[in-house]
């Protein structure tokens, strides 16, 4: 609310008013027009060079992804290859999560199509699926022979605990992106904790969480962004 008040107190034209004339617009307050270049703020963000590179990258991520590919995707695309910023990743993941269908597949479609159109989506998804399908099928055929060995089952148990940790850590790593949230980091963090409690401790169905917490949060953010834009327009 701070900036709205600052505006009402009113000194629209003053160059030293940070609300009116921000020195470096953050992604949250980026003006809609003239279109800014989204790449400017992350000069070191890279791009997949070819469909083959895309395919290989997604194959290698899928083959490293035990107990789900999410943790690996975040590490490879954001930290290693720098194909996405942390903020990009959270935002695209939100879309991938809310759309029906397998989440990581959706992310491959979103990311692949952004760079290479429908071919990119196809190569990304093929990368995620081809090698792992062959592997999982071989494993299923082998499984009958080793299913009775207690050590095999115990090893799977240990791996499942680690892979649970991987997923949780992926969420924690994305926490800093709340720092630039339009609603302010305090409210954003509170909503985050509320969702965690609902999902993990109270076991509220996901659809209810998305509607009950996600819906109002989007609405609040929408209003907040509107207020920010209105302010900028007046300032101009």
Partner 1 sequence: MSAAIAQLLGALDWVAMLTHFMGLSLLAVAGAISTTPESHRYLVDENRWLTDAQFTDSIAIAQAAPGPNVLFIALLGWNVGFNAASWAGGALGLVLAMAGIMGPSSVLTYVTAQWSQRNRERREVRAFKQGMTPIVIALMAGTGWVLVSAHGYTLAQLPLWGLALVSTVVVWRTRIHLLWLLGAGALMGALGWV
66 touches partner 1 by CB under 8 A: yes
Which of 6, 21, 113, 235 binds partner 1 (CB under 8 A)? It is 113
- The answer to whether 58 touches 47, Cβ cutoff 8 Å, is no
Q: Looking at 9-17, 27-35, 40-48, 49-57, which segment touches partner 1 (CB under 8 A)?
A: 27-35
CA distance 179 to 194: 17
CA distance 211 to 227: 23
Alpha carbon of residue 209 to chain centroid: 17
Q: Looking at 1-9, 12-20, 42-50, 62-70, which segment touches partner 1 (CB under 8 A)?
A: 62-70
6 touches partner 1 by CB under 8 A: no
Site string for partner 1, 162-201 (x = CB under 8 A): xxxxxxxxxxxxxx-xx--xx-----xx-xxxxxx--xx-
| CA trace torsion 46, 51, 53, 59 (10° rounding) | 120
Which of 33, 37, 44, 148 binds partner 1 (CB under 8 A)? It is 33
84 touches partner 1 by CB under 8 A: no
Please say which residue, 220 or 235, places its beta carbon nearer to partner 1: 220
48 touches partner 1 by CB under 8 A: no
Closest to 231 measured CA to CA, from 45, 7, 47: 7
Sign of CA dihedral 125, 41, 231, 217: positive
Which of 20, 51, 69, 78 binds partner 1 (CB under 8 A)? It is 69
């Amino acid at each position: 609310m701070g900036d709205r008040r600052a505006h009402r107190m009113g000194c629209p034209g003053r160059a030293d008013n940070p609300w009116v004339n921000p020195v470096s617009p953050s992604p949250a307050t980026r003006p809609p027009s003239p279109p800014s270049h989204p790449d400017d703020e992350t000069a070191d963000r890279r791009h997949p060079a070819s469909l083959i590179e895309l395919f290989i990258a997604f194959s290698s991520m899928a083959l490293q992804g035990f107990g789900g590919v999410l943790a690996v995707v975040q590490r490879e695309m954001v930290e290693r290859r720098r194909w996405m910023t942390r903020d990009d990743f959270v935002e695209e993941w939100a879309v991938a999560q809310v759309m029906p269908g397998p989440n990581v597949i959706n992310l491959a479609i979103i990311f692949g199509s952004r760079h290479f159109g429908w071919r990119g989506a196809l190569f990304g998804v093929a990368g995620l699926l081809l090698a792992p399908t062959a592997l999982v099928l071989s494993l299923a055929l082998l499984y009958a022979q080793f299913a009775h060995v207690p050590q095999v089952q115990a090893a799977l148990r240990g791996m499942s605990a680690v892979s649970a940790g991987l997923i949780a850590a992926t969420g924690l790593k994305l926490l800093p992106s709340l720092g630039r949230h339009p609603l302010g980091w305090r409210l954003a963090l509170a909503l985050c904790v509320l969702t965690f409690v609902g999902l993990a401790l109270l076991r509220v169905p996901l659809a209810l969480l998305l509607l009950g917490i996600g819906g109002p949060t989007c609405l609040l953010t929408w209003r907040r962004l509107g207020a920010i834009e209105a302010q900028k327009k007046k300032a101009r």
